[in-house]
């Protein structure tokens, strides 16, 4: 249900307020351009600076506007287990297909703490849960053994792996089997990630290049030699974009790219700031190379 190219949706702002109209347009832009799934209120959606009401609002808008055309896995994680339960049960009530739940940041829980955090959320909801493992932002790294324990629970179905460690894909397949969903959170390693047993990506670049990203994902999973060649060609086109999107803190670069494509403004919330002039030139060049502008 949640494979291929899934976009980690940006949250557009106007005068520092949620821009509902533009957000709705973005959702329909992805429906029309081949994106396989929607992920609102994640890191790229600036969830740390969304109010609780805004967080629930962007998920609800996404579910309502997608109208079942694309699956919605809502970002509902928190370093507070109680808050994560609240956000996840809200997403379930309004019809989200599942939840993407980040490992608790700042608290630095042990592996047992991680297990109990996800188990508490699992026990309070009835929708599929994807673990979001991103030690670069949350400090802690969930082990494959802890994931294996969690996979025994009724709602845990997979992981968004943003460790950047491709060997982790092989280790996870060996320990948990091929049915455990693995999605990369690193756009730049998506080709090799899929070759090792991954099923797709939750992508930042898909915000600005949805068709390129979805075509690339489709071709990587093919056994046809011509399709694999197409995947390799698209990977070459996309790599400069992937690099440009992370030259400064995400989502500032991708919002600037989206502005150049007339998708949304490049406003971000403090403590994030707009990208520098030097980064703007790198982003423009990547868009030109990909023939997006």
pLDDT band at 269 (very low <50, low <70, confident <90, very high): very high
The pLDDT value recorded for residue 1 is 73
Annotation marks residue 160 as catalytic: yes
Closest CA to 96 of 57, 123, 62: 62
181-211 per-residue burial string, b: 16 or more CB within 10 A, e: under 16 = bbbbbbbbbbbebbebebbbbbbbbbbbbbe
pTM: 0.96
The pLDDT value recorded for residue 276 is 98
213-234 mean pLDDT: 94
Options 23, 115, 118, 132, the catalytic residue: 132
In the predicted structure, residue 244 carries a pLDDT above the cut 80: yes
The pLDDT value recorded for residue 132 is 98
Instruction: Encode pLDDT of 166-178 as tens digits.
Output: 999 999 999 999 9
pLDDT band at 65 (very low <50, low <70, confident <90, very high): very high
Phi, psi (rounded to 5 degrees) for 164: 80, 5
**Residue 48 CA from chain centroid, whole number:** 15
pLDDT band at 222 (very low <50, low <70, confident <90, very high): confident
Instruction: Encode pLDDT of 67-93 as tens digits.
Output: 999 999 999 999 999 999 999 999 999
State how far the Cα of 98 lies from the Cα of 6, in Å rounded to an integer: 13
The pLDDT value recorded for residue 212 is 98
The pLDDT value recorded for residue 23 is 98
Mean pLDDT over the full length of the chain: 97
Options 160, 255, 259, 280, the catalytic residue: 160
Instruction: Encode pLDDT of 6-44 as tens digits.
Output: 999 999 999 999 999 999 999 999 999 999 999 999 999
Structural domains of the chain in order of their starting residue, each with its CATH number? 4-222 (3.20.20.70)
| Structure token digits, residue 227 | 């399709």
The pLDDT value recorded for residue 291 is 97
pLDDT band at 223 (very low <50, low <70, confident <90, very high): confident
pLDDT band at 225 (very low <50, low <70, confident <90, very high): confident
- Percentages (nearest 5) of helix, strand, coil residues in the chain: 50, 15, 35
In percent, the amount of the chain with pLDDT more than 70 equals 100
């Amino acid at each position: 249900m949640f494979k291929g190219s899934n976009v980690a949706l940006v949250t557009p702002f106007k005068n520092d307020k949620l821009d509902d109209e533009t957000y709705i347009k973005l959702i329909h832009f992805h429906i029309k351009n081949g994106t396989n799934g929607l992920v609102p209120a994640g890191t790229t959606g600036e969830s740390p600076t969304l109010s609780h009401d805004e967080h629930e609002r962007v998920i609800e808008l996404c579910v309502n506007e997608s109208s079942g055309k694309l699956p919605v896995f809502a970002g509902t994680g928190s370093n507070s287990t109680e808050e994560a339960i609240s956000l996840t049960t809200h997403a379930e009530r309004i019809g989200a297909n599942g939840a993407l739940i980040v490992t608790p940041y700042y608290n630095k829980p042990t592996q047992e703490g991680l297990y109990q955090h996800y188990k508490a959320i699992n026990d309070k909801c009835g929708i599929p849960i994807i673990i979001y493992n991103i030690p670069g932002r949350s400090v802690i790294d969930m082990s494959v053994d802890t994931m294996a324990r969690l996979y025994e629970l009724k709602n845990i179905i997979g992981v968004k792996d943003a460790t950047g460690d491709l060997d982790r894909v092989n280790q996870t397949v060996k320990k948990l089997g091929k049915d455990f969903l693995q999605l990369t959170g690193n756009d730049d390693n998506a080709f090799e990630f899929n070759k090792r047993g991954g099923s797709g990506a939750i992508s930042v670049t898909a915000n600005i290049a949805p068709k390129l990203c979805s075509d690339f994902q489709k071709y990587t999973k093919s056994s046809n030699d011509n399709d694999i060649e197409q995947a390799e060609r698209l990977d070459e086109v996309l790599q400069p974009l992937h690099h440009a999107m992370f030259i400064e803190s995400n989502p500032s670069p991708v919002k600037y790219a989206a502005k150049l494509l007339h998708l949304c403004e490049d406003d971000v919330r403090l403590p994030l700031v707009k990208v520098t002039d030097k980064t703007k030139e790198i982003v423009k060049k990547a868009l030109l190379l990909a023939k997006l502008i």
